[in-house]
Amino acid sequence: MSTLLDLKNITTTVNAGTKEEKKILKNINLQLADGDFVTLLGTNGAGKSTLLNIINGSLFPSEGHVILDKEDLTAWSEVKRAKYISQVFQDPKMGTAPRMTVAENLLLATKRGEHRGLRMRGLDKHLAEFKKITAKLPNGLSERLDTFVGNLSGGQRQTLSFLMATIKKPKLLLLDEHTAALDPNTSHQLLELTNQVVQKDHLTCVMITHQLKDALRYGNRIVILNNGKIVLDVCGEEKNKLTEKAILQYFTD
């Protein structure tokens, strides 16, 4: 399969030139093939969220290049990259507009990457479609299309965030511990939905998780960061042979 994402020599330095200078990411080289579903592991401070922020454009690398589908995005803003990259965050409050309804949020998501005026048009003609899509999801969202998002539960809001991120197929989907703030049952439901959508739509996805069982269960590839470096990158049969005990050895200093 062809390479979709190519991270070349990515280094991120904070407080450069001071006594507090620190490298968060250290010469990261990572290539994702079209359709890869990567679970990204690492200790706190290993650089996982920083790596996603470099990809989505909310941070710029001190050195290196971000190539997506053979186009160099390194100098692109987060807004410009949003046409091709979507993300779901750990906090259910991020990624949605609380004072807009579920349907209005979904309409915004269908226009990701497009120029939008001050007035949204065409909501009514999308309602049947939104009803059909949300009816397949957990948490009863199909019955709450007219509900302001700020009044949803955390699970409902995070499910909506995931739907918004994938309703218009992105070239790359980033999931930053998107189930961490949810109860175990809701987390399991959203992970199963995630796996279903990624497989059905052949999405290329990077999912940060702290749960070793989830890393082993989902995706075709595991990448582990430790101290700003990739210490393990396996896929296919090599991934399938991994155990939790084997993974833990990569978390030591």
The answer on pLDDT for 169 being more than 90 is yes
| Contacts with 11 (C-beta within 8 Å, 6 or more apart), sequence order | 23, 25, 26, 27, 28, 61, 62, 63, 64
pLDDT at 203: 96
Tokens, residue 56: 């989505």
| Contacts with 146 (C-beta within 8 Å, 6 or more apart), sequence order | 101, 102, 103
56 vs 136, higher pLDDT: 56
Alpha helices of 58-183 — where are they, by DSSP H?
78-81, 102-110, 123-135, 154-166
For the stretch 140-161, pLDDT in tens is 888 999 999 999 988 889 999 9
Q: Read off the pLDDT of each residue in 118-124 and give the average, rounded to a whole number.
A: 63
220 vs 43, higher pLDDT: 220
Band (pLDDT 50/70/90 cuts) for residue 233 is very high
Spatial separation of the C-alpha atoms in residues 172 and 38, rounded to whole Å: 11
User: Residue 83, SS3?
Assistant: coil
The answer on pLDDT for 1 being more than 90 is no
User: How many Å is the maximal CA-CA distance in the chain?
Assistant: 59
For the stretch 66-112, pLDDT in tens is 999 999 999 999 999 999 999 999 888 888 889 999 999 999 888 87
The amino acid present at 91, given as its one-letter code, is: D
User: Residue 145, SS3?
Assistant: coil
| Contacts with 101 (C-beta within 8 Å, 6 or more apart), sequence order | 145, 146, 147, 148, 149
Using a 10 angstrom Cβ sphere, with 0-12 exposed, 13-18 middle and 19 or more buried, the burial of residue 237 is: exposed
For the stretch 7-65, pLDDT in tens is 999 999 988 778 877 889 999 999 999 999 999 999 888 899 999 999 999 999 999 99
| Contacts with 241 (C-beta within 8 Å, 6 or more apart), sequence order | none
Band (pLDDT 50/70/90 cuts) for residue 118 is very low
Q: Read off the pLDDT of each residue in 199-227 and give the average, rounded to a whole number.
A: 95
Beta bridge partners of 126: none
pTM of the model: 0.92
Band (pLDDT 50/70/90 cuts) for residue 114 is low
The fraction of the chain above a pLDDT of 90, given in percent, is 66
236 vs 126, higher pLDDT: 236
